[in-house]
Structures are given as structure tokens and as C-alpha cells.
A and B are shown apart, each in its own frame.
Chain A
Amino acid sequence: MDAILLQILNGIDKGSAYALIALGLTLIFGTLGVVNFAHGALFMIGAFVAVTVGKVLEISKITLDPEKTDFLGNPAKIKTPYITEWFGDFGFWLIEWSVLVSVIVAIPIMILIGVIMERGLIKHFYNRPHADQILVTFGLAIVLQEVIKAVYGANPIPQSAPDLLKGSVDFGVMIGMAENSVIYPLWRLVYFCFSVLIIGGVFAFLRFTTFGMVVRAGMADRETVGLLGINIDKRFTIMFGVAAAVAGLAGVMYTPINPPNYHMGMDFLVLSFVVVVVGGMGSLPGAVAAGFLLGILESFASMPLIKDAIAAVGLPSIDQIIIYLIAVIVLLVRPRGLMGKAGMMEE
């Protein structure tokens, strides 16, 4: 029981990232009908917003301490971040919680990047073949990735979670199980809660606001909504920004789990596509459900017990490829995906 729970927990942090990226991809595909190969790059940019915020907060004034010397006999340098000098304890608090600061900073930045991307580039590709849309966003993904590489270097840059949220939590005790049965890193739990919050936010936004209602109507029948005198293009542009922000936030919060590097976007992109396909192209709940499902399945497939069971049947271990395998099976058996609309992808 506890082993199963642990595997589920191990799966949900990656699953959360998949779900968030796939949600953004689906939003873009559902509204604008574009497959955004640069979406992984947006995830990566979000992570690097966190890196930048962390660095900016730690810009320090260097003062010389005349009383101490380092091993060369020079006066020792003391670094005091400007922000602590200006704000005192609040400054320290900001540095400590830089991830949260990054979340706040990332939202407007990512929305802006998304809107610029849509207005500046993707807008011109609506009347071009699908292959061209894929190609140009693929090119954009390469460019964004290489710009980040040129600025931040090729090595991963570790980011730390706030002290309060570091370490592990005994999850088993929280739900009334024996002590030390299910130990789980606290930040991953935070990541899961955060992603649920974001996903809930996006759904509530679409469900309960007039803006969201119009967007949903536009997803169902763009032409009619346009004929009713609503500027649906503008709303879809904003939705592109929202999708970019969702990916960016997923990236920001992922930094303490995995040190960001320039190719993390491409690594997640392929899996997110698979998630979208399994969930059903254009279905938001499908994308989220498939994201978590595949994350958890991936974690289960790497469980020793299951591995042994598979080996006992004489099959090779499948933990590396289970996600792709499921995608292939879904496409062959139920091409519209788990929750896709009838007719979707069945051409």
C-alpha cells in the first residue's frame, strides 16, 4: 500500500509539469489551431526567469573587511546584497523566497512573450499549411533555446527552494499511516498543489468569466462568434499569453526540482505532445488527466515490483518507453484520445 502511494507521489510531480505544459499546448491548439513546437521553450524561459530573478536579488555590494584577511593576505570581501541593505529583513526574506518572487515576475513577462509571439509571428501563419506552422515554431524553439544558451551557458544552474519548504515530509503520518513509510520531498508536494491551483484557476477563468465564456464559444465556432461582432482574435491572442504564462510558471516552480538547463524545454516538449495526444487533441480536461496519468504510469513502470513482474512474463523492461507505448496504443485503438471530441484526430 505505502509502496503504491509512494509511486503515485513520485509520479505526480512530473505529471504536474506534463499537465501544465499540455494544458497550455491544448489551449493554443484549441483556440488558434496551431501546434506550438516552441511551447517547451516557453517552459524553459519560465525556469530562466527564476534564475534571473534569483541573480538580480543577489546582486551584492562588495565591501572590504579590514580586520580579516583571506589566505593571500588581502582584506576579506564581504558581500551584502543591495536588497538587504535597502529593505533589511524583508530583503533577506525576498532572497529566501526568490521562487515566489519569480512567480510574480514571470506572469507578466510570460504573457508579454506569448502575446508578442502570437502577434509578431504566429498570426502570419494561420493561412499557411500546418507543416509551415510546425516548422516556424520549431525554428523559434531552436532560436530561443540557443539565446538562453548564449546568455546563461550550457550548464544547469541549480536553484534552491526556500528553507521552510526544503527537506522531506513524512506523508504517511499525515494520512494516518505508520511513520517513515512514505517520505516525500516537500517541494514536490508544493509543486503538485501549485499546479492544481493553476489548473483550477485556468478552468475557473474559462468557466465562470464572461471572457472565458466567449473564448469557449470561439473554440466551438470561431466564425459565428466573430459574426456576432466580438473581436475573437484579440481574445485568442490573450489566451496565447495565458498559455505561455502557464508554461512559464510550470518552469519557474520546477527549478528547485531540476536545475534548469537550456535543453529542458525540448526534453519536455516531446512528452507533452504525447500527453496531449493521449488526452485528446483540443480537450483541456483530457490534457490534464493524461498528464497526471502518464506521470504516474511512468513512475509505476519503474517500480522494482512491476519490473520483476514484467520480467517474469518474459517481456523486456518498459519503464523508459511506457509513455510512448501508451500513446501508440491509444492512437491505434482510440485515435481521438481519452477525452477528445468525436472526429478529432480521426482523419
Chain B
Amino acid sequence: MNLMKDRLLLIIFAAVVLAAPLIFAPTGAAYPDLLQRFAIYGIFAIGFNILFGLTGYLSFGHAAFLGVGSYSAVWMFKLLSMNIVPALLLSIVIAGAFSLLIGYVSLRRSGIYFSILTLALAQMSYNLAYSVLTPLTNGETGLQLRLDDPRVLDAAGDAGSLPSTNFFGLEMKEVFWNPTIFGYDLQFNWGYYVCAILLIASFWISIRIFRSPFGLMLRAVKTNQTRLNYTGINSRPYTLAAFVISGMFAGLAGGLLASMDPLAGAERMQWTVGGEVVLMVVLGGMGTLIGPILGAVFIKYFENIFSKINDGVLHGWFAIMPEWAENAMVLIISPFVGKGWHLTLGALFMLVVIFLPGGLVDGAKRIGRVVTGANRRAAKVGIE
């Protein structure tokens, strides 16, 4: 029963993800760059959810793994080949190793201390990337491809232009189908489909982990770690495994970011980036399967839409009002849009944490219950 449900969920999810360029067309978000970001941050959030949603360990340091993934991928592009497969593999492996190290240190503490430790370690990695590790990270400029990179596996291409990332010849940037459907000019590119397939795979892994005994153990850690320890179970291997898995997901996301746009900078490792994935997971619904992806899409979508709204656009919206009302509306709304998008995000995030700790998924469930009257029915049953 449950298995069937999960399969159905996966199939629906896969269908939506694969048809995303069509589905998002009416919202104005159906261009490759944004869709790729949806998928990549979705993967990032799925991974983070395995740690935070299941075990309750709140890490502020996952940006470090994203950054490490990006750096490893770009190094692969520089040294080995522009094929994304080795790059992604290396970014997963390196991020996994790195998260094993950080997880080993920070998981010695729990609760708030763990959060502070991950925060400090992430900031340390960021500073390292900026200063000491400049030979590896190219410091402030960021790691970029160059014409004279060795790329030992690639056949010598035409000199003079940088080769682009590819999946066995399918170039990430290439739009392979450019139809017009329902009057929308659609773009299907390889890059998005690589991200999409990996997103679906990540989602599947996430379902498997949620349903496995391992996932159950992680939930037990969240519910009451002390009691779990008293039953004679050493919970640290489980939490460490969850930490490393989520670090590998973050590394994959970082590698994908670099695959879509082959450069890596230290700013990707700043702890505020790690804070963003926290926002995504909490906003969408921590501990749920679909929530983190919803949160990622929600944040990246509105980041894109809101930051484009400037005063001119606002004046256009309220043009039908009398002029004083129009100006007042613009004055009220303008701090929240355009460059003020983060203000909206912060406020929204606070509202969700305060009133809707289950996130958007929980909100949808509550609305669903109100609409179907399940609450009333449940109440009636209670009375009887």
C-alpha cells in the first residue's frame, strides 16, 4: 500500500519535473537558467532535509559542501574533461569526505551547540577558500576555466574559445527543442534535463531513506536522543551517516551549479548561503518529502520575480487608482520588492516559523482539511 503510494508519488513527481518547461511557461519562469536553479537547489534542499528534517540537527554549514562541490567540479573541467560525469562524481566524493570530517567534529555536540559549530566550521572553510587555499580556489576572483588548461581526456578542440560542459557530447547549454506551444516559446535544453533526472533520482533516494529502518532510526534521534542512547544504541553513526549523505547531496548540487556555469567562487561557501537552504526546507516543510523542493522552487521563483519588480512596474499596476493612492501603494510595497526581496523572504520565513512550523506542506494540508471538512468530521467522531 505504502509502496504503491510512494511509486505513484514518484511517477507524478517525475512527470511534473520532466514537463517543467511546459508547466512553468505561464508563470514566466520557463527559461533554462531558472529551471536549472529550481532543480539544483531542490537537490540541495532534499539533502539538507535528510539531516535536518529527520534528525533535527540544524546545520548552518552546508554552504561549505556546496562550495567544495563546485570547486571540485571546476577542477575536473580544468584537468580531465569537460564531460560532467567525472566532475559530478568528484564533487560528490570530495564533498562527502569533507562532510565526514566536519560532521565528525561537529556531531560531538548536539542541539544549539551543533548549530554554532557548523556555523563556525563553515565560516572557517569560507575564510580558508579566500586566503590560504588560494592556489586551489583562486581566492577572490574565483576558479575559472582557461584556454591552456590541460583537459587530458578531451580531444584538442578549436583553440580560441572555451569548450562548454557536456554529457558525452550533449552540451549543457544547447537548446535541443524550441517549439511554440499554446503561444509560449518553450526552450528544452540538455542542462535542465540532466538536473531534472538527478533531481528525480535524489527524490527517489530520499523516499527510500524516509521509508527505511535507517530513516526510522534518524527519526528516533529527533524524537528523543537520550532515550535512544539509553536503550543501548549508539546514535552517532546514524547521525554522521545522515550528515555525510546530506553533504554529498550538497556537493552534487554544487557540482551541478558548476556544470551549468563553469566557475566557482568562495561566496558560494558563505554561511548565509547555508542559511538560505535552511529557509527553503523550513518554508517548504521540514521532514516532509516534497516540502524542501517546494521551498526551493518557491524561494528561487519569487527571488527571480520579485527582484524584477521596480517602482515603474508598481506604478503600472496601480495606475487605475487615483494618483495619491497609487503613490501611497507604491511607497508601501516598494521596500518589499525589487532589491528588498530579502525583506519579504525574512518576514515570510518568520511568519512560517511562528504560525506554521510545518511549512507550506502543512499549510496545504490544513487548507485541505478545512475544504473537505475533515476537521468537523473528526470532531464529530470525537464527540460520539
Contacts and interface: CB of A to CB of B under 8 A. Distances in A.
Pair from one complex: yes
Interface of A: 35, 121, 124, 128-132, 134-136, 138-143, 145-147, 149-150, 154, 266, 270, 273-274, 276-277, 281, 316-321, 324-325, 327-328, 331-332, 335, 345, 347
Contact of A134 (B112, B342, B350): B112
Contacts, number: 120
A274 B339 CA distance: 31
A321 B127 contact: yes
B120 A324 contact: yes
A345 B116 CA distance: 11
B354 A345 contact: no
A202 to B, nearest CB: 22
A316 B335 CA distance: 45
Contacts of B353: 132, 135-136, 139
B340 A274 contact: no
Interface stretch (B103-111, B194-202, B203-211): B103-111
B278 A135 contact: yes
A138 B278 contact: yes
Contact of B350 (A140, A147, A270): A140
B124 A325 contact: yes
B123 A277 contact: no
11 contacts: A129-B56, A134-B115, A139-B349, A139-B350, A146-B346, A270-B271, A276-B116, A277-B117, A317-B132, A318-B132, A335-B108
A128 B282 CA distance: 15
Contact of A136 (B56, B112, B350): B350
B343 interface: yes
The SS class assigned to the A binding surface is: helix
**Chain B CB within 10 A, most for which of A131, A132, A134, A321:** A131
B363 interface: no
Contacts of B105: 328, 331-332
B9 interface: no
Contacts of A276: 116
Contacts of B290: none
B163 interface: no
A328 B109 CA distance: 11
Contacts of A129: 56
Interface in B333-384: 335, 339-340, 342-343, 345-347, 349-350, 353-354, 357
B177 to A, nearest CB: 40
A223 B335 CA distance: 44
Interface in B110-154: 110-113, 115-117, 119-121, 123-124, 127-128, 130-132
Contacts of B115: 35, 131, 134
Nearest to B128: A321
B343 A277 contact: no
B347 A143 contact: yes
Nearest to B56: A131
